[in-house]
Amino acid sequence: MTDLAQVFMDLVRCEIRLYNALGERLRAEHGLTMGQFEFLRIIDGRDGCRVNDLAEEAAITVGATSKGVDRLEAAGWVVRRPNPENRRSSLLELTPEGAGLLAAATPTLEDGLRSLLAEPLTAGALEQLASTVALLRRSLEGATAGPA
């Protein structure tokens, strides 16, 4: 029988170790934290991204997300534009500096992922891991979404 508590602990420890290792590389090579990279990547991939959208995607509170965006804005990597559909919210966009930083940091992240994931795992094992994690994420996000 599978020890589910151990599976959970293994998942958590893997995530922490991956996040920390990638964060160290990003910080050393680009002066960027893993959280900042993640925010830049989400904003870049979503037209009309609001703080609420970013918080939902990152699975953190709106308050923490807003503070993170404040830091990105202060660094000159993100701007808030008025939302034409809702004056109470802003739309987030990368500045040219933010887009350049994301473009420079992405290969660093990908190289780190190759060494941490693709090298120790066979192509088949990595594909199975990707499929399993995606299925688990969809299940968990559906379970936490609540009734429509």
34 contacts 26 by C-beta, under 8 angstroms:
yes
Q: pTM value?
A: 0.86
Report CA-CA distances (Å) from 82 to 75, 77, 135: 20, 17, 36
Average pLDDT, the chain: 93
Report residue 58 as tokens. 């990152």
Q: What is the pLDDT of residues 111-128, one digit of tens each?
A: 999 999 988 899 999 999
Placement of tokens 């960027």 in the chain: 32
Q: Give whole-number Cα distances, 26 to 31, 90, 108, in Å.
A: 6, 28, 7
pLDDT digits (tens, 9 = 90+) for 35-65: 999 999 999 999 999 999 999 999 999 999 9
